[in-house]
Amino acid sequence: MRRIKELVIEKALLTSALITVAITAGIILVLSFEAFAFFREVSIVDFFTDTEWTPLFSNKHYGILPLLSGTLLTSFIAVAFAVPVGLSISIYISEYAPRSFRTSIKPALELLAAVPTVVYGFFALTVVTPFLQSFIPGLSGFNALSAGLVMGIMIIPFVSSLSEDALHAVPDSLREASFGMGSTKLQNAFRVMVPAASSGIVVSVILAISRAIGETMIVAIAAGQQPRLTLDPTVPVETITAYIVQVSLGDVQHGSLEYRTIFAAGITLFVFTFLLNTVSYRIRKKFQEKYE
């Protein structure tokens, strides 16, 4: 009897594992299938070299570059803001702050990640943009800068929390060794702790980048929806995610080429985040081995 129970439980667990794998496989299949149909009509060379993305206009161009540049630009701004801030926070919490502070501040910081992104989007559009306009003349109402900055605020906890975990996981014996050698707190933090936790910190940064690239609402609301191949953060741009939202909400016909652009854009995005996650997984595995 007990054996049957064990068997049932085992199979149930296996099924739930298989379901997630199957769903992932299904998503990839649908993405690839539709994207394949898209690339039968649009050459893949054009897709990666054309500098215009106007599938919804009469003069159609299918160059992903403007969307890609929009995505990378907003993500870059977000990461450039979140990494120094997040890392400073993590170093402060793990190496300077009293222990009681750590237990209260960490959940508070993680709340930042719990704010709905649509709220962040409107925060960027109605608070940050007007604020930035007060000292950046010519800043457009929709722009990559404020969307990127607010996205940066959103991903701070990704960086700070995971980095702090990595710093916290450094054995105390190393802290003792470095203080025993006469390190100051600053020397201990930057010469011993950060290098010892570097793989964990890198993983946190990669996950933050991955999150920024996949972020949708903030950029859809605050960055504008104009695909534009530019690195100028003050003008409206469109990201891959924002484009997907725009078209999904519109009335393009199911099965049309316009409809399939979503999947072409989607698979590009997928490849990006998949690569980043793979890299971070690899680093994390290496990191685990190091302290065993």
Partner 1 sequence: MVKEKKENIIDSNLQRKHKLRTKGVKVWYDDFMAIKGIDMNIKANKVTAFIGPSGCGKSTFLRLFNRMNDYVDGFRLEGEVTIDGENIYKKKVNVEQLRKQVGMVFQKPNPFPKSIFENVAYGLKIQGLKDKKFLQEKVERSLKRVALWDEVKDDLNKSALALSGGQQQRLCIARALAVEPSIILMDEPTSALDPLSTSKIEELIYELKKDYTIVIVTHNMQQASRVSDYTAFFYLGELIEYDKTKKLFTNPEKKQTENYITGRFG
* Calpha distance 67→228 (Å, rounded): 7
Whose CA is closest to 106, among 97, 118, 116? 97
Q: Which is nearer to partner 1, 133 or 198 (CB)?
A: 198
With respect to partner 1, which residue has the nearer C-beta, 137 or 182? 182
Count how many residues are written for the chain.
292
Q: In the structure encoding, which two tokens stand for residue 24, read together?
A: 């992932």
Instruction: Kindly list the residues in this chain that would bind partner 1 in the complex (CB under 8 A).
Output: 99, 171, 173-174, 176-184, 187, 191-192, 195-196, 290
State the residue for tokens 């722009």. 143
Say how many Å lie between the first and final Cα of the chain, rounded: 40
User: Measured between alpha carbons, how far is 117 from 151 in angstroms, rounded to an integer?
Assistant: 9
Tokens 């897709």 locate to: 47
Minimum gap (Å) between residue 265 Cβ and partner 1: 42
As measured in angstroms, the least distance from the Cβ of 127 to partner 1 is 41
> Minimum CB separation from partner 1 for residue 177, in Å?
4
Q: CA of 17: how far to CAs of 10, 28, 269, 270, 282, in Å?
A: 11, 17, 25, 22, 21
Closer residue to partner 1 (CB): 3 or 99: 99
Cα angle 50, 52, 54 (rounded to 5 degrees) comes to 125
Q: Which is nearer to partner 1, 125 or 194 (CB)?
A: 194
The least distance separating partner 1 from the CB of residue 282, rounded to whole angstroms, comes to: 18
Closest distance to partner 1 from the beta carbon of 105 (Å): 17
Cβ burial of 114 (10 Å; 0-12, 13-18, 19+) is exposed
Least CB distance to partner 1 at residue 196 (A): 5
Query: Which tokens belong to 116?
Result: 């709905």
- In the bound state with partner 1, the residue whose beta carbon lies nearer, of 15 and 184, is 184
Which one, 130 or 171, has the nearer CB to partner 1? 171
Q: Which is nearer to partner 1, 61 or 191 (CB)?
A: 191
Give the shortest CB-174-to-partner 1 separation in angstroms.
6
For the chain, list the strands marked E by DSSP: none
